[in-house]
Structure 1
Amino acid sequence: MTEPELSAGVLELSAGVVEYEDTGGDGPVLVLLHGVAMDGSLWRHVVADLRAGHRCIVPTLPLGGHRRPMRPDADLSVLGVARLVAEFLEALDLTDVTLVMNDWGGAQALVADGRDQRIGKLVITSCEAFDNFPPGLPGNNLHTSARLPGGLRTAFTPLRRLPMRRLPMTWGGMTRRSVPDEVMDGWFRPLWTSKEIRRDLRKYVLGVPPKDELLRWAEALRTLDRPAPVAWAAEDRAMPPEHGRRPAELLPRRGEAPATT
């Protein structure tokens, strides 16, 4: 089988321009979602492994690693970004999608919000869940920074220094393997250079709903009538393994856990 080429695309959506990469092809459709202050390169190894038999689509969400600022009036709350994902699927006319979320857990809101019709399978890997938004110590620090004038610029400037990236209170507690410096440079550069990108991230971080609403989203997973396998990192510090077991218990049809590498 000839391996499909990876092509770049852009979509003009209600919040602004969303960039994405698409392997094309006729295989089952996988849409892979990344987390805060990252971009689609998070999935580079997964795409390399799966692209021969799947159509892999990787959007860059407006979570700080995006290069094109959203419109000033865009709703970039957790629910707003989740709705943007639904709009993205609709704009590409994707159906029976396997939607994979990692780190960012907002896609759970699609079920509670009644916008999950295009999803054939929801794969939940280590991510924000229940009231752990933003997750763990790094998330708490990010939320504190976002509340202060100039706080996000102050928070991300030290990450120009390579050792700072590997501290437990930054990105060091979220991976067992070092992420290449050039990849992390790509994640953080928009936040270093653009006040509009920092504005977008601030909207997201401060747009987390109250705890009772977050728990309502989680409870709504009980109504999902499609496969929803859960795979969680046993040593995750920011997103504890207990948060993987709990949604697995909520989901009526968990399916088989996806393979890990």
Structure 2
Amino acid sequence: MTEVTLSAGVVEYEDTGGDGPVVVLLHGVAMDGSLWRHVVAGLRTDFRCVVPTLPLGSHRRPMRPDADLTVLGVAHLVAEFLEALDLRDVVLVMSDWGGAQALVAEGRDQRIGRLVITSCEAFDNYPPGLPGRNLVAAARIPGGLRMAFALLKLRPMRRLPMTWGWMSRRPVPHDVMDEWFRPLWTSAAIRRDLRAYVLGVPPRDELMAWAEALRTFDRPALVVWAAEDKVMPLAHGRRLAEMLPRGELVEIADSFTLIPEDQPQRLCEAVRAFVPRP
């Protein structure tokens, strides 16, 4: 892993290098860049894949205590990351986490050449579905996040609808999930960071304005949505594709929210078809 120091703290990232189009892959809450391991393996021969680990609970370097880790604050951190690495004309791909939509609303999208939105938070679905509501409930109770993630040491708990059972049709390997959860098991500072994010969701009007701002995104955009998603409504994917002036829609069967886990090959095929080669 490589690292870069940003205003909020140190952010670690993987960079495969190469001369191909730059694809920046963003993960969701309580997971890290390894979510994209199969997609990176399928793209790296022809693309430069850059995969930051965002401060969403599975990061290993706590952020500064005064860092803005609201949804909007983390979105600003993504823009700062692109600037710090001087990445331009990137293909920005998001999964589960929808905060990057705020980059368009905030006018921080100049370095994005193409946008790929896979099943993620959108409109007022923040926090998303039953797992999101469960996480917010835990964050509001002193010690609640510590207890919630301690329960996930019990592997059968990981497949409950209120935890990770509705996030992927196929169980994420336990060794991968162990690494996702370990920082939350071992670090009060990491739990502090996650709590700041989970409780930092803006009002509904602001969330809806972020989605509405996508109508101004004049570059190519691809919406890839899991047809059987139980957390991110399929109707949201269709609405997003209609709102984006140059939007395309691909629906992927036999997958829940985490398409990079359930159908990585089909996601790679969609990205390859969407991104022109030099």
Indicate conservation of the 8 Å contact 2:27/2:96, yes or no.
Answer: yes
2: CA distance, partners of 1:224 / 1:200:
31
Note the C-alpha offset of 1:240: 1.1
Tell me what 1:32 maps to. Answer: 25
Q: Is 1:91 matched with 2:84? A: yes
Q: Is 1:122 matched with 2:115? A: yes
Q: How many equivalent residue pairs?
A: 254
Tell me what 1:103 maps to. Answer: 96
2: CA distance, partners of 1:215 / 1:27:
35
Q: Work out which of the residue numbers 167, 180, 194 in structure 1 matches 2:173.
A: 180
State the TM-score, normalizing by the size of structure 1.
Answer: 0.95
1: CA distance, partners of 2:248 / 2:235:
19
Which AA in structure 1 matches 2:236? Answer: H
State the TM-score, normalizing by the size of structure 2.
Answer: 0.90
Helix, strand or coil for the counterpart of 1:17?
A: strand
Helix, strand or coil for the counterpart of 2:166?
A: helix
Tell me what 1:10 maps to. Answer: 3
Note the C-alpha offset of 1:162: 0.6
Note the C-alpha offset of 1:160: 0.2
1: CA distance, partners of 2:249 / 2:86:
27
Tell me what 1:23 maps to. Answer: 16
Write out per-residue CA displacement over residues 80-133 of structure 1, whole angstroms, 9 at most, x where no aligned residue. Answer: 000000000000000000000000000000000010000001100000001111
Tell me what 1:234 maps to. Answer: 227
Indicate conservation of the 8 Å contact 2:88/2:111, yes or no.
Answer: yes
Write out per-residue CA displacement over residues 118-175 of structure 1, whole angstroms, 9 at most, x where no aligned residue. Answer: 0001100000001111110000010111111111111111100110001111001010
Tell me what 2:70 maps to. Answer: 77
Which AA in structure 1 matches 2:142? Answer: P
Write out per-residue CA displacement over residues 12-64 of structure 1, whole angstroms, 9 at most, x where no aligned residue. Answer: 00000000000000000000000000000000000000000000000000000
Which AA in structure 1 matches 2:222? Answer: P
Tell me what 2:267 maps to. Answer: 260
Which AA in structure 2 matches 1:172? Answer: G
* Counterpart mapping for 1:41-60 below 5 A: 41-60=34-53
1: CA distance, partners of 2:29 / 2:165:
14
Note the C-alpha offset of 1:255: 4.2
Instruction: Give structure 1 regions of 4+ aligned residues with deviation exceeding 2 angstroms.
Output: 255-261
Tell me what 1:140 maps to. Answer: 133
Note the C-alpha offset of 1:195: 0.4
Tell me what 2:259 maps to. Answer: none
Note the C-alpha offset of 1:256: 6.6
Tell me what 2:144 maps to. Answer: 151
Unaligned runs of 5+ in 1: 1-7
2: CA distance, partners of 1:69 / 1:256:
37
Q: CA RMSD in A?
A: 1.1
Note the C-alpha offset of 1:254: 0.9
Helix, strand or coil for the counterpart of 2:247?
A: coil
1: CA distance, partners of 2:194 / 2:183:
11
Helix, strand or coil for the counterpart of 1:245?
A: helix
2: CA distance, partners of 1:186 / 1:241:
30
1: CA distance, partners of 2:267 / 2:70:
31
Which AA in structure 1 matches 2:113? Answer: G
Tell me what 1:193 maps to. Answer: 186
Helix, strand or coil for the counterpart of 1:99?
A: strand
Indicate conservation of the 8 Å contact 2:97/2:120, yes or no.
Answer: yes
2: CA distance, partners of 1:22 / 1:256:
28
Note the C-alpha offset of 1:201: 0.3
